Structure 1
Amino acid sequence: MHEVHEVNDGVHGPAAGHVRVRLDLGYDGRDFSGWARQTSRRTVQGEIEDALRTVTRSSRRYELTVAGRTDAGVHARGQVAHVDLPEDVWAEHREKLLRRLAGRLGHDVRVWRVAEAPAGFDARFSAVWRRYAYRVVDQPGGVDPLLRGHVLWHDWPLDVAAMNAASAGLLGEHDFAAYCKKRDGATTIRTLQRLEWERDAHGVITATVRADAFCHNMVRSLVGALLFVGDGHRPVDWPAKVLAAGVRDSAVHVVRPHGLTLEEVGYPADDLLAARNREARNKRTLGGGPGPGCC
């Protein structure tokens, strides 16, 4: 007997007889093989979908749509997803769903909020920006053992001012092909809205990276290039030159995933959700529309 999946394209909202539910969640990515469900590996999507089916006592799996699919080892504090549930399932379980999920899910993934989504909401396509943080230390002794799963150790002193100067040349709308792993049929044009570095009192250097969307490996590649500027191996203008060249540079290192956390996803006002949902599905060109809202 084949398993039935609840699937909807999302353009016109949930199918008849269904309710779209928004989930706000977070997870420690170290023991997950990324977000997307896989048949033989533990993933965040698989974990939550299995928990949903169990706590609602359903024979079907209800598929999650996520704001940004994270890679293996990447964490999230402010991830957003939606799921379309039959009206009777939602009516029966809505009041106790959050607590029941907490009792079923592993300790490294938490759903913080469950609520009926406003009209036009799509966790992926209604989003207008995603904000990530990448954390690194350059202390000679290495990373605080209590932070080792979330902070990268860079074995060279880093010049934060130089990294900020180099970051400024990457802001705006560009084709980030030089910093992305190419996927067939997917555009690499993105608008990088913010890229800043700051060292805190404990020596942890945090890169705050915000864009309308991210292509595969984009944040980790940008961080890798900027660390080379910070430690003096490349000049300040080098990352912008790599961007302008438009091709992958073998010198751009994709840094390890454990320093990266999805911190927040931004959405427009409720009355603009549907318009953003439709607009973001158009394939993007430079100077054109916002394109698909995937990471």
Structure 2
Amino acid sequence: MSTSRAATALHKALENHARTQRKLTAASMIGDGSDVLSALTGRPVTHDERLRLAPWVVQQLQRQIAQIADPADRRIAQMVLAATREFEDLNVEQRKQYVCDRRAELSRELYKKHRIGVLAELAAGLELAYLAISAPTVFVGGSYTDPGWHAIAEGVGRALAGKPVRLVAALCDPGIRVCYGLEKARIAGNSYVLPRTKLFGRPDSARRAEQPYGAREYLTGTRESVRTHLMAGSDLVLLFGGGPGTEAEARLAEQAGKPVVPLGFTRGTAGEYWRSHHDPVDPDSYQELGDPDPQTAVDAAVRLITRHLLPMG
């Protein structure tokens, strides 16, 4: 089996599982197929973690396969991953022969044409399902009036694209641009399937998202109630510039015991917060949040977010 050059680590791991395993079971994932779990989490996993995660992975793959609308593609998925009893204990070539001998089910030409795409979709769906249950959420708060900050804010999003985090924000300039930067980086890296960012606004607001990146949702209620709702579902707050509203967001985070990462070099509330606080988790990186070189400060922010939310990453 060959994979496309653009295949993700998880796609490649599923290919390897298909080559080496003759059943899609938790046992195969825990044993020789454990590279699937490492590719999914982005790190080595302990035996206890494999015991917990493997049954969930198998269940998710079986569910996704059952939901494939095209019968031929569904059959390819069943055959490649040995996901049904008829394929158990058969190697890859035997499984392929079993299906292709029944040309009413699947031809060799169709198998060759669709196999990579089918596995790519399964890998992407599995990654999204895992992200939905495991990825921490970063709330992006702040504001600015100078459009010269747009590129820097998008750079923050690009820097976070490789980290397993989700972003939420109100329809403010930093929130919009940071979210756009993350999603555009995923598109450029051929890893965008479903959004990892969501922008929130109110129906009566004149502000709308400008570009079709990420998800959007409009909530009823006051600006304060929307802010409180977003903060409640977040694990960390990232501040970029800002005024009184951003001060309220920082206070809500502190009251809830959530870490705050202020990009001090962006001035405004973020700058004031940076000067008046410290972070014992990584004091050196915290100091660099105020570095006049934006890249140095952004790199420091990513390190702090990683230390707070992704200690294994």
Give the TM-score band, short-chain normalised.
under 0.3
Relative to total residues, which structure has the larger strand share, 1 or 2?
1
Larger radius of gyration: 2
> Which of 1 and 2 has higher RCO (CA within 8 Å, sep 6+)?
1
Q: TM-score, normalised by structure 2?
A: 0.26
Relative to total residues, which structure has the larger helix share, 1 or 2?
2
Q: TM-score, normalised by structure 1?
A: 0.27
